[in-house]
Amino acid sequence: MIPTRELGNRSYVVHDGRTAVVVDPQRDLDRVEQVLEKAAVGCGLVVETHVHNDYVTGGWELARRHGVPYALSAEETVSFTCRPVRDGERLAVNSLTVEVVATPGHTDGHLAYVVTDGEAPPAVFTGGSLLYGTVGRTDLVDPERTEELARAQYRSARRLAARLPDDAAVYPTHGFGSFCSVGPSARDAGPVTLADERRRNDALTEPDEDAFAARLVAGLTAYPAFYAQPLNRKGPGPADLAPPEPVDAAELRRRIADGQWVLDLRDRTAYAAGHLAGSVGIELGDQFSTYVSWLLPWGEPLTLVGESGDQVAAAQRQLARIGVDRPAGAAIGDVPGERAYPRATFAEAAARPDGDLLVDVRRDDERASGHIPGSHHLPVHQLLPRIEELPRDRRLWLHCAGGFRASVAASLLERAGHDVVLVDDDYAKAVEAGIATG
């Protein structure tokens, strides 16, 4: 199992001691090849459960590099050569047998793969279909077909479960924080069996398809804008992780003056205390690539500012996984402290001066669960196209659930000329203090 914590996904390498099947590899293939090397096995087959929305696949490149088949649903439309497979097919990989099971719902051509060696219980790789405690979302193909695909997801999960024994090990790709899952999912680290899912998974415990579909549709939330990019249908090439071109402070200022995006990777406390005027602060962490790709214009030059080469390299790896191939450059080391803005608690926000505006940048579903009376709601992922809704003659106090998204919003609004305060606090404290509902 190869986790990609930042995007909430897992890739898998399953082998018989000689030859491996690789399931849903991400684009930075050095991680996969290290696993193959450590196990002293060759790559015999690469399989893809579906054409992913939330990351760029490394499947086509891995198969090309090792000269092995790349299995993908025959129902998918792609611009590269692969091994098209259909429901019921069986593929032999040394002593392993890989059975293809159609599981439409998350996408039309979605597949699960059941891998057996004739001795141990089967392992089923479920992609974005049957997840831990939940299922994959069904609004990515076409919003108008969301309920139709929710019903397909229900039937797929139950069909898959009906053909496997209780001791079958379940290995989903999505569901560990991915926006491709619906609602909260269990983030089990150890082996999970189909028996576990029969007890807790809504698709298997709910006997009524209508009720299941209604709950699934009601539980859908916003998802990142980069999901619409068709990169996986083109056969993505290798990730280029070579260090970006060095950039000095003068060049950073020139790029900012030209309207380019200069992205500061430091934590939000350091950024608030001092940063380059016109830069955008998105601290490097588990949510970094999701919000970079959700907020910044796709395809425009992006320059990174980091405290170390390792920090820049980590950011570059995350960006490569979502298709942002080459940063336009990177500045490493001390950052000119030309601008700063204050940080505050929710208690201080509640006592803000009359005329100052508290802005809630959480998602719609979070807002519906509770809010601070008198606050203005503008989700961070809608901030840039709706920025003119915010008054320029009032100081803006930005809050979210924990501070990360509010810090991104604060940097974007300060870049646009607003006077801002970052509420860098836990929303639960506001609820406990009676400042907020929820």
The H-assigned helical ranges of 201-308 are: 202-205, 209-218, 249-257, 268-273, 288-295
With both helix axes pointing from N to C terminus, report the angle between 309-321 and 288-295 in degrees, rounded to the nearest 10.
60
Two structure tokens written together for 234: 């083109």
Domain-embedded: residue 438:
no
Q: What is the CATH number of the domain that holds 313?
A: 3.40.250.10
Residue type, 360: D
pLDDT value at residue 381: 95
Task: Tell me what pLDDT residue 118 has.
Answer: 87
Q: What is the pLDDT of residue 187?
A: 65
Whether 224 and 367 map to the same domain: the answer is: no
Contact partners, residue 76, CB within 8 Å, separation at least 6 = 50, 51, 109, 233
Question: Over its length of 438 residues, how does the chain's per-residue pLDDT go in tens digits?
Answer: 999 999 999 999 999 999 999 999 999 999 999 999 999 999 999 999 999 999 999 999 999 999 999 999 999 999 999 999 999 999 999 999 999 999 999 999 999 999 999 889 999 999 999 999 999 999 999 999 999 999 999 999 999 999 999 999 999 999 888 888 886 666 666 789 999 999 999 999 999 999 999 999 999 999 888 898 888 999 899 999 999 999 999 999 999 999 999 999 999 999 999 999 999 999 999 999 999 989 988 889 999 999 999 999 999 999 999 999 889 999 999 888 899 999 999 999 999 999 999 999 999 999 999 999 999 999 999 999 999 999 999 999 999 999 999 999 999 999 999 999 999 999 999 999 999 987
Is the torsion defined by CA of 103, 109, 112, 116 positive or negative? positive
47 in a domain, yes or no?
yes
**Within-domain flag for 337:** no
Q: Is 16 domain-assigned? A: yes
With respect to residue 223, please indicate whether it lies within any of the assigned structural domains.
yes
Residues 289 and 185 in one domain: no
- H or E stretch covering 55: none
Domain co-membership, 36 together with 171? yes
> Which CATH number characterizes residue 19's domain?
3.60.15.10
Helices and strands (H, E) in the chain, number of each type: 14, 20
Asked if residue 193 and residue 277 are part of one domain, the reply reads: no
The predicted structure's pLDDT at residue 226: 86
Contacts of 81 (CB under 8 A, 6+ apart): none
CB 140, CB 106: distance < 8 Å: yes
- The verdict on 293 and 150 lying in the same domain is no
Looking at residue 244, the DSSP 8-state letter turns out to be: P
Tell me, yes or no, whether 176 and 207 share the same domain: yes
Least Cα distance to 294 among 237, 393, 223 occurs for: 223
For residue 344, what pLDDT is reported?
A: 98
**Does 195 lie in the same domain as 279?**
no
Query: Are 39 and 153 found together in one domain?
Result: yes
Integer Cα distance of 129 and 164 in angstroms: 15
- Whether 368 is covered by a domain: the verdict is yes
Domain ends where: 234, 259, 282?
A: 234
**Which residues form the domain of 149?**
2-234
Q: How many domains does the chain have?
A: 3
Q: Which of 313, 332, 351 is the last residue of a domain?
A: 332
- Residue 240 in any domain: the answer is no
pLDDT value at residue 180: 87
Are 154 and 297 in a shared domain? Answer: no
pLDDT in the model for residue 189: 66
What is the distance between the alpha carbons of residues 219 and 144, in angstroms, rounded to a whole number? Answer: 16
- Report if residue 218 sits inside a domain: yes
- Same-domain status, 397 and 361: yes
- Same domain (yes/no): 191, 322: no
Cβ neighbours for 190, distance < 8 A, ≥ 6 positions apart:
none
363 in the same domain as 298 = no
Domain boundary among 332, 351, 385: 332
- Say if residues 172 and 10 touch (Cβ distance below 8 Å): yes
